[in-house]
Structure 1
Amino acid sequence: MKDDVKPQTSPETEELKAILDQAARPRARWGLRLLGLVAVAGLAYGAYLWSAGGTTVSYTTAEVKPGNLTVIVTATGSVEPTVQVDVSSEQSGTIREVLVDYNSEVTKGDVLARLDTDKLSADLKAKEAAVASARATVSKARADEQSAKAKLDRLTTLVSSRVSTQQDLDTAEYTFQAAEAARQSAEADVISAEAALEQSKLSLSKATIVSPIDGIVLSRDVDTGATVAASLEAPTLFTIAGDLRQMELQVSIDEADVGQVAVGQDATFTVDAFPDQRFPAKITSIRYAAETVSDVVTYKGILSVANDDLLLRQGMTATADIVVQSITDGLLIPNAALRYAPPATTPAETEGGGSGVFSIFRPPRQTPTSAPEPEGSERTVWVLRDGAPVAINIEIGASDGQNTVIVKGDIKEGDRVITDQTVRNG
């Protein structure tokens, strides 16, 4: 029988073995980390090679073709009568009767209402009596003047014959002058009395309120028995509109658009009451005075409107499209072609804005935007020729917001302009 004999180890040997075991552990951990990094880098590089080798670009295009283009300016406002008159009373008093109501058709001179005239009639009679009295005074003054003149003439003859004295003649002359002055004063009193009489007649006539124009009563703000106090701000009793078969549209034109709007331009508008019907109109006036509301500056535009069917009513809110420019058979391109520009990207970029695994480190690409260009400005568009985009410089004209007129440039009908592109990985 054999016994197994274990080898003997010294304390120095055990210590060396422990040191070697501790050194081996960190080397193993670093090896695993390095292996992981190599794997990730290899995966990323492989993805890059795969995406770069399979990228395809497709373009969205639109055909350049002739067409009609209309540039409009939109403005809002309200329909109003061409003539509208507020009728008030110049005479104070009590309303005795009202002869019209809302929507009453009236002609110039028709009686709308009457005031109580008892006091005015009495005043008129007093003025007539004053005139009669003044005229009687004139008659007496003329008689006195004639008597004084006759006495003066007689004494003048007697003084020449030395029958009467010079003193008697002087007295007669003074009497005649006084009679003449009294006659002139009486005549002036007649004129004053007659003026007062005319004023009284005028006051009496103003007690009858009449229509100043032909038209329709839009509002009646008085009833029988009401007291009217004439003053510097007399209350409005009636509002009368002129012929409603011819009206006007008053719109507020934005200061950015007013330079394009001119007298004589055609327009169409709609109202809420008839949303499916467009009414024709024409610009007749653009006022120079600015109107500012909440820091927004506008200018009042007046458009003439035919209202033969009487569908339109005073105060209706309207939205007008004013035709400021109209082009026939112009060469048109969509505005999207003016906004397109090929992005400066790597071949591996995808439609999602990134490429492979690197997309997680890249910020999303922003779509470029630009403000509308003024007429006559030069722009660059991209035309697809033989499957490749070609940059073409053009000069643009009017735009309606969707299409723009080409004024000049190396571009013709039938060319296809690029409006967008899509990048995909095959």
Structure 2
Amino acid sequence: MKRTGTIITLVLIAVFFSIGIWYIYTKDKQDPVVYTTEQATNRTIVKKTVATGSIVPKEEVLIKPNISGIIKEVYVEAGDNIKAGDLIAQIDVVPNVSSLTNAKNNIAGARTTVETARLALANQKSIYDRQKALFDKGVISANDFDNIRNTYNAAEQRLKQEQVNLRSASQNYDIIKTGTTSGLGNAATTQIRSTITGMILDVPVKAGNQVIEANNFNDGTTVATLADVEKMIFEGKVDESEVGKIKEDLPLEITVGAIENKVFDATLDYIAPKGVAENGAIQFEIKGTLAKKDDDTFIRAGLSANASIILEKAEDVLSIKEALVQYDPKTKTPYVEVATGDQEFERRDIEVGVSDGIFVEVKSGITADDNIKVWNQLKAPAGFGGRG
């Protein structure tokens, strides 16, 4: 029995010894982790969020006729630069038969009233002349003569008023028939002119189209859309998760897909107080005024654009890759490991600043000469630089 126990013990010792030798051999074949290092560099770090939208004019003016009719001729087209007062289109008035008949009847009635007033004035003048001769002879009193004179003056004023009414009826008839009349200038005209200096963005009508004047029941037909293309804005939307990070007067960097390698500066000047649900998310409208261009680049209205909203910016600051930063599991204090010798490192607590998600500003804790451990580097695959 003693001999059997001894044999078993020796066998176990041999097995464990073999396992130990195998473990040491396999560990020796594994590649040791050799950590590389990187140094801090000076760079400009920008923290930003992006909004999508388009470029539109700051103010668009819709030119509408002040009288209904049919477009006779259009003198401009989209893209033309015009000045205030320039002719845009000409209208032919198509009179309403009922209104035209009523206006004509009003003229006839006004003429009859004028003739009646003229006869009344002639009668009062005869009475006035007779009474004046009697007054000059002292036959009637001054009081009686004053009454007769006042009656004559009233008849004269009535004739003048009826003549004014006749002219008004005639002008109304001309307006209904032709769209204009003498003495009214631009108050009623068949010529449609620009009210501002700018560029024609759209002319939605053509010769032969019927147009309607703006009134209490109709917005009127738009004959042309104008805008000052030197004053453009960015209109876009940001998600509710980002709207809390932005505020008015923040700088914007606008990139337009149709204009390559060009960035336009702008200033955020409007954030909608109310969001709108779109595709299951709440979106807030924003607007930013583009700065005056320093070249002749033409930005067309309606172009799609992206706006980078600059939340924070640190220029020419000491920075490292954010992947180099580690955080204490208890205090959450940021730190890095700095090389002190060959594959020897020590912990350095640091103070971080602005981060763009890739690089982070380092305010204190290290210098540009320190070699910082790349602690999360991947191990090289077998066969690539490892031991055989």
Asked if 2 retains the 8 angstrom alpha-carbon contact of 1:62 and 1:417, the reply is yes
Shift of 1:196: 6.1
- Aligned-partner residue type, residue 333 of structure 2: R
Q: Normalization by structure 2: what TM-score?
A: 0.66
Structure with max Cα Rg: 1
Residue 35 of structure 2 aligns to a residue in which SS?
strand
Q: Deviations over 1:305-344 (max 9, x none)?
A: 5285353222111223344433233221211123x4699x
Query: Equivalents in 2 of 1:185, 1:64: separation in Å?
Result: 98
Of 342, 360, 363, which residue of structure 2 is paired with 1:404? 360
C-alpha deviation, 1:61, in angstroms: 3.3
1:89 aligns with 2:89: no
- Counterpart position of 2:80: 104
Residue number among 193, 201, 209 corresponding to 1:226 in the alignment: 209
1:38 to partner: Cα distance:
11
Check whether the contact 2:71–2:91 (CA below 8 A) recurs between aligned residues.
yes
Contact 2:51–2:307, Cα closer than 8 Å, also in 1? yes
Report matched runs for 1:201-212 at 5 Å.
203-204=179-180, 205-212=188-195
CA offset digits 1:132-177 (Å, max 9, x no partner): 887777777777777888999989x87879xxxx9xx7xx96x888
Q: Which amino acid aligns with 2:64?
A: S
Whether 1:278 and 2:262 are equivalent positions in the alignment is yes
Report how far residue 304 of structure 1 moved: 1.6
Q: How many residues align?
A: 343
Instruction: Map 1:9-408; keep pairs closer than 5 Å.
Output: 56-117=32-93, 119=95, 203-204=179-180, 205-230=188-213, 232-242=218-228, 244-255=229-240, 256=242, 259-260=245-246, 262-263=248-249, 265=251, 267-271=253-257, 273-275=258-260, 277-283=261-267, 285-294=269-278, 295-305=281-291, 306=293, 309-338=296-325, 340=326, 379-386=333-340, 387-408=343-364
In 1: Cα distance, 2:282 partner to 2:316 partner: 37
Q: In the aligned structure 2, how far is the partner of 1:379 from the partner of 1:189?
A: 95
Residues 95, 115 of structure 1: 8 Å contact kept: yes
Aligned mates of 2:218, 2:63 — CA distance in 1 = 14
**Displacement of 1:278:** 0.8
CA-CA distance at 1:225 after TM superposition: 2.3
The whole-number CA distance in structure 2 between the counterparts of 1:201 and 1:308 is: 49
CA contact (8 A) 1:58 1:422 kept: no
**Aligned partners of 1:59 and 1:193: how far apart in 2?**
104
- The verdict on how the C-alpha distance between 1:207 and 1:289 changes in structure 2, with shifts beyond 3 A counting, is farther
Query: Could you tell me whether the CA contact under 8 Å between 1:141 and 1:179 is conserved in 2?
Result: no
Residues 185, 223 of structure 1: alpha-carbon distance in 2 compared, 3 angstrom cutoff? same
Q: Please tell me whether the aligned partners of residues 62 and 224 of structure 2 are also in contact (alpha carbons under 8 angstroms).
A: yes
User: Normalization by structure 1: what TM-score?
Assistant: 0.61
Deviation at 1:210, TM superposition (A): 1.3
Taking the aligned partners of 1:56 and 1:183, their CA distance within structure 2 comes to 122
8 Å Cα contact 2:254-2:305 kept in structure 1: no
Match of 1:371 in 2: none
Amino acid at match of 2:221: P
C-alpha separation in 2, matches of 1:43 and 1:416: 43
Q: Is the 8 A contact 2:199 2:227 kept in 1?
A: yes
What amino acid sits opposite 2:338 in the alignment? L
Aligned mates of 2:324, 2:71 — CA distance in 1: 72
- Percent identical among aligned pairs is 20
Mapped to 2, the partners of 1:40 and 1:150 lie a distance apart of 157
Residue 201 to residue 413, structure 1, CA distance change in 2 (3 Å): same
Cα separation, partners in 2 of 1:329 and 1:270, compared to 1, 3 Å: same
> Amino acid of the residue matched to residue 402 of structure 1?
I
- Structure 2 distance, partners of 1:78, 1:423, is 43
Segments of structure 1 that go 5 or more residues without pairing to the other structure are: 1-36, 344-376
Tell me if structure 1 keeps the 8 A contact 2:121–2:159.
Answer: no
Verify: 1:415 aligned to 2:359, yes or no: no
Note the alpha carbon deviations across 1:222-247, whole angstroms, 9 max, x for none. 222222233513222222233x3553
SS of corresponding position for 1:336: helix
